[in-house]
Amino acid sequence: MIRTPGQPGRAGTPWVTWTVLTVCGAVFLVGPASGLNPAYGRGPGLLAAQAAYFERWGVVPVELWHGSAQALCTPLTALFVHGNWLHLLGNMLFLYVFGAMTEAHMGRAAFALCYLVTGCLALLGYAVVHAGSDRTLVGASGAISGVLGAFLYLFPRARVTSLFPFLFFLPLRFPAWAVLLFWFALQWLAAGTAAGRPGVAYLAHVMGFALGFGYAWVRRTPAVRVKGAARSTEGDKPT
């Protein structure tokens, strides 16, 4: 849970956040990764269907640069595909916690653009660094990392309730900047130690977070300057 002291925001339902949650959930349930769709069979047949599904809709760096035109669309389609239940639920939890407030502050169009652009660029950035890799990348982690980066810029004074296993899962409240920077540091360290090995694409998380923070900074800075200039002009008017 998050509490934000004295931060302005726009009222309204976070439709973009809810739409992404719904689409990602629906795509997962009807696809082979959930194991719930009988059309994909069971056992070895299901595993083969999952591999083909991820390769078709996920990002494979070596195919992205040297494959078909269809591969060029995969940085977008991969944002809505998840590998398993834990992958899906973890991403959607972060989006649910941090997405609504970020969308309310940014506005729906700007938030949607932030989500899609940072997510695609994070996957593309990973594919550039690992251009010869044949690992398939799927999931919204890069885009959601972008949301976290934007949230950190917009709400640095917010307080987040976190659960820590080594403290017996006691709910503790910390400043958002401390929680998110700690999370970013873990992703950075993991990206360095996991380079070239199979597993989570931590580098995409790092890139997404930096891109989201930069997007919020670039988008907000001109508005702040304009408001400041308006106040200065107002103060100079003769009375």
- Read off the pLDDT of residues 75-110 as tens digits, 9 standing for 90 and up: 999 999 999 998 899 899 889 988 999 999 999 999
All residue ranges of the chain with pLDDT < 70 are 1-11, 67, 160-175, 177-179, 183-184, 186-200, 221-239
Catalytic residues: 141, 205
Find out whether 146 and 114 touch, Cβ atoms under 8 Å: yes
pLDDT value, residue 168: 38
To 10 degrees, the CA torsion angle through 176, 178, 183, 188?
A: 130
pLDDT value, residue 28: 95
pLDDT value, residue 189: 64
- Identify the architecture of domain 2-236 in CATH: Up-down Bundle (1.20)
Find out whether 158 and 113 touch, Cβ atoms under 8 Å: no
Compute the Cα dihedral for 213, 219, 224, 225 and give only its sign. positive
With 0-12 / 13-18 / 19 or more C-beta atoms within 10 angstroms meaning exposed / middle / buried, residue 118 is buried
What's the helix, strand, coil split of the chain in %, to 5? Answer: 70, 5, 25
* Domain edges within the chain: 2-236
Find out whether 119 and 209 touch, Cβ atoms under 8 Å: no
